[in-house]
A and B are shown apart, each in its own frame.
Chain A
Amino acid sequence: MSTAAETTIAAPRSTRVDAKYTRDKGKKGNFEMFAWLFMRVSGVILVVLVFGHLFSNLMLGEGIHGVDFGFVAGKWADPIWMFWDLVMLWLAMLHGANGVRTIINDYAQRDGVRFWLSMILYVATAAIIILGTLVIFTFEPCMVDATGQLLSGTPAFCAG
């Protein structure tokens, strides 16, 4: 004979699924698709930009020994290099930020941690992109000291 306690059967567990497996509803749109596509396209472009950058800085002319303030100033006097570096800055930052965003999404387990890590990432990315863009466009190659003399190391064309 079985007692009442023994015959109590627990409710079936079927269809009771842990909340962590239930997908958040609502978010529609192609953002993840564009993010995925951007990674591929920007990656290909960056290969060209980065190796072009390395080649012109390290291989042409005096090579690495020629890289100084004047060298950079000379490059940014040329609109082509301004454009090159601007595109490289934006693509590299967005490509890298999207990669880190992906890693945060993959590994951050708690929503709060994920949110704050993402926020730090976005703020840092925005700050570097804005500062970098500002430097490229407002760069002053011919810096003078308090007495109006050109600083040492300024490119030759400043004297003219």
Chain B
Amino acid sequence: MSTVNETAEPASKVELNQSGDGAGAVESFDIILKVRRYVPETSEESYWDEWKLTMYGTDRVLDALHKVKWEHDGSLTFRRSCAHGICGSDAMRINGRNRLACKTLLKDLDLSKPITVEAIKGLPVEKDLIVDMEPFFQSYREIMPFLVTSGHEPTRERYQSQKDREIYDDTTKCILCAACTSSCPVFWTDGQYFGPAAIVNAHRFIFDSRDEAGDMRLEILNDKEGVWRCRTTFNCSEACPRGIQVTKAIAEVKQAILARSF
């Protein structure tokens, strides 16, 4: 056997920055994370807690919260499930704007100032960053977020043209994180307001050609606390982590109610 001079295969085929500490060429920076804490067992008042952390360019706000919980203060309480922007568990108020902690990169924030993290507004806070979502889901359930049909069930799927599907495509993206509803100034002062999320999910069925209860949903939302409460401040559209044009959807429901009445 003749062994040819063969160079050993490198550990990584990607060129890594040799001087790095394992994180490759990813930049690292110090941040100050300020979290609004609320611990009902010890105090009725909320207070700000802050930590100085060394984080990396690939880290998100959720990673910073994890670092605090796992390495500094295990009592910090927040919800998160998938950590990849689809379960809708970790909506919170980051630097005064409703965002998913798992979709907000630290490097996109202003790191010269402390990063503030608070629970979303308008819903009762249970502890730290966890709010009671029940009022939110109560409104969601009221608009009947399920397909309603009559007659015999078809033996195969219910057909829908691509064009008909396109009409409500935007509102199918909702993950029920409550970022929109809890960014709405009307909802902050009036908890009875259905809120953008419920209207978005009603929109998803009202404009579905296969659904037959659109009229009922329009009647539900033609309420004092329904779509007419919307002041088109666009906070919800700005807050939506899924990029849903929430205010546009609400306007379409308003138009549908008007079209039904005249």
Instruction: Tell me the bound Cα distance from A15 to B133 in angstroms.
Output: 10
Max count, chain A CB within 10 A of own CB: residue among B224, B229, B231? B224
Nearest-Cβ distance from residue A37 to partner chain B, whole angstroms: 7
Instruction: Tell me the bound Cα distance from A7 to B191 in angstroms.
Output: 35
Contacts of B44 in A (CB 8 A): none
Contacts of A23 in B (CB 8 A): 192, 223, 225
Contact of A15 among B134, B231, B257 (CB under 8 A): B134
Does B191 contact A35, Cβ atoms closer than 8 Å?
Answer: no
Instruction: Tell me the bound Cα distance from A11 to B191 in angstroms.
Output: 24
A24-32, A73-81, A116-124: which lies at the interface: A24-32
A21: Cβ under 8 A from any B Cβ: yes
Nearest-Cβ distance from residue A106 to partner chain B, whole angstroms: 6
Does B224 contact A21, Cβ atoms closer than 8 Å?
Answer: no
A33-B257, A106-B231 known; A21+B222 contact, CB < 8 A: no
Quick one: CB contact mask for B249-261 with A, threshold 8 Å, 1 for yes?
0000010011001
Contacts of A71 in B (CB 8 A): none
Instruction: Tell me the bound Cα distance from A30 to B222 in angstroms.
Output: 7
Quick one: CB contact mask for A106-144 with B, threshold 8 Å, 1 for yes?
110100000000000000000000000000000000000
Closest to A13 in B: B132
Does A24 contact B192, Cβ atoms closer than 8 Å?
Answer: yes
B47: Cβ under 8 A from any A Cβ: no
User: Which range holds the interface residue count of chain A?
Assistant: 20 to 34
A60: Cβ under 8 A from any B Cβ: no
Does B191 contact A20, Cβ atoms closer than 8 Å?
Answer: yes
Nearest-Cβ distance from residue A103 to partner chain B, whole angstroms: 10
Instruction: Tell me the bound Cα distance from A23 to B257 in angstroms.
Output: 20
Closest to B126 in A: A13
Contact of B134 among A17, A20, A27 (CB under 8 A): A17
Nearest-Cβ distance from residue A27 to partner chain B, whole angstroms: 6
A18-B135, A21-B138, A106-B186 known; A33+B258 contact, CB < 8 A: yes
Contacts of B190 in A (CB 8 A): 105-106
Does B189 contact A33, Cβ atoms closer than 8 Å?
Answer: no
Nearest-Cβ distance from residue B40 to partner chain A, whole angstroms: 11
Contacts of B228 in A (CB 8 A): 32-33, 35-36
Given A17-B132, A18-B135, A21-B191: 18 more A-B contacts, CB < 8 Å = A13-B132, A17-B135, A17-B138, A18-B124, A20-B192, A21-B138, A21-B192, A30-B261, A32-B222, A32-B226, A33-B228, A33-B257, A33-B258, A35-B228, A105-B190, A106-B186, A106-B189, A106-B190
Chain B residues close to A by CB (< 8 Å) = 124, 132, 134-135, 138, 185-186, 189-192, 222-226, 228-229, 231, 254, 257-258, 261
